């Protein structure tokens, strides 16, 4: 285990160094462009070189964090979602936890187990915003987030928010594939973690 971390670090450093060399070479090529194209060309080169590694790092961090949550919550369903206040509105009431939601948008993991639902933000240490017991969950359903040029699946969770840090309706955008191979909707997968409550006649 100790050998893997130095090896991974070394590979990461080599990858960054290679990208920097590539950027320098392309930058010198761009110098020969007409003045009007130089700035535009250099900007495109920087984006082309810098964005893919950043996205790769972001997705790797999300997968690692999800794996950590699954180990911390055996048997739970962990769902990667993305939240942005501008499109989806607040998910927390005003209070001390608001300081933990700084940023225009970030990844939120939904953890669903026999106890209920809770949201966790990816940080060096997981930021838990509190659990909502199943008896306080009114509904979990799928909807559509409509944008000018696209549509995305939208996860909508409605709760009885009294005595919780959350607002009554929480909207989240699921990221990537979320167990589509099962044929169940994401909302059904989440609700499947709710313990079955026997009918009164079953208890007789």
3-state secondary structure 47-102: HHHHHHHHHHHHHHHHHHHHHHHHHHCCCCEEEEEEEEHHHHCCCECCCHHHHHHC
pLDDT in tens, the chain (204 residues): 444 444 444 445 455 556 555 555 555 555 555 554 555 555 666 665 555 665 555 555 666 777 878 888 898 999 988 888 877 888 999 888 888 887 777 888 999 999 999 999 877 788 899 999 999 999 999 998 888 878 888 999 999 999 999 999 999 998 765 545 455 788 999 999 999 765 444 444
**Does residue 56 fall inside a structural domain?**
yes
Question: How many CB atoms neighbour CB 14 within 10 A?
Answer: 10
pLDDT of the residue at 21: 58
Residue located via tokens 């840090």 = 165
Does 69 fall in a domain?
Answer: no
Answer whether 157's CB lies under 8 Å from 174's CB. Answer: no
Residues 83 and 19 in one domain: no
pLDDT at 80: 87
Question: Is 70 contained in some domain?
Answer: no
> The domain that contains 177 carries what CATH number?
2.30.29.30
How high is the pLDDT of residue 111?
94
The answer on 140 and 84 residing in a single domain is yes
* Contacts for 13-20: CB closer than 8 Å, 24+ residues apart: 15/53, 16/53, 19/49, 19/50, 19/53
Residues 119 and 25 in one domain: no
Do 34 and 131 have their domain in common? no
Containing structural domain, residue 136: 75-200
Overall pTM > 0.95 = no
| pLDDT confidence of residue 123 | 72
Residue 201, number of CB atoms within 10 A of its CB: 6
The number of distinct structural domains making up the chain is 2
Does residue 19 sit in the same domain as residue 48? yes
């Amino acid at each position: 285990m100790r050998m893997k971390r130095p090896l991974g670090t070394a590979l990461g450093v080599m990858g960054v160094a290679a990208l920097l060399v590539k950027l320098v070479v392309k930058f010198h090529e761009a110098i020969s462009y007409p003045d009007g194209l130089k700035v535009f060309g250099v900007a495109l080169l920087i984006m082309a070189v810098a964005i893919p590694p950043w996205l790769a790092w972001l997705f790797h961090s999300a997968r690692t964090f999800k794996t950590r949550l699954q180990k911390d919550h055996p048997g739970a369903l962990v769902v990667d979602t993305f939240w942005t206040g501008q499109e989806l509105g607040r998910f927390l009431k005003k209070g001390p936890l608001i300081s933990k939601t700084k940023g225009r948008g970030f990844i939120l993991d939904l953890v669903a187990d026999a106890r209920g639902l809770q949201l966790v933000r990816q940080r060096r240490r997981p930021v838990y915003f509190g659990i909502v017991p199943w008896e306080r969950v009114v509904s979990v359903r799928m909807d559509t987030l409509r944008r000018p040029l696209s549509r995305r699946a939208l996860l909508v969770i409605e709760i009885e928010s009294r005595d919780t840090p959350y607002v009554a309706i929480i909207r989240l955008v699921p990221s990537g594939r979320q167990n589509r191979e099962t044929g169940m909707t994401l909302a059904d997968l989440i609700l499947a973690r709710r313990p079955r409550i026997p009918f009164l006649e079953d208890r007789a």
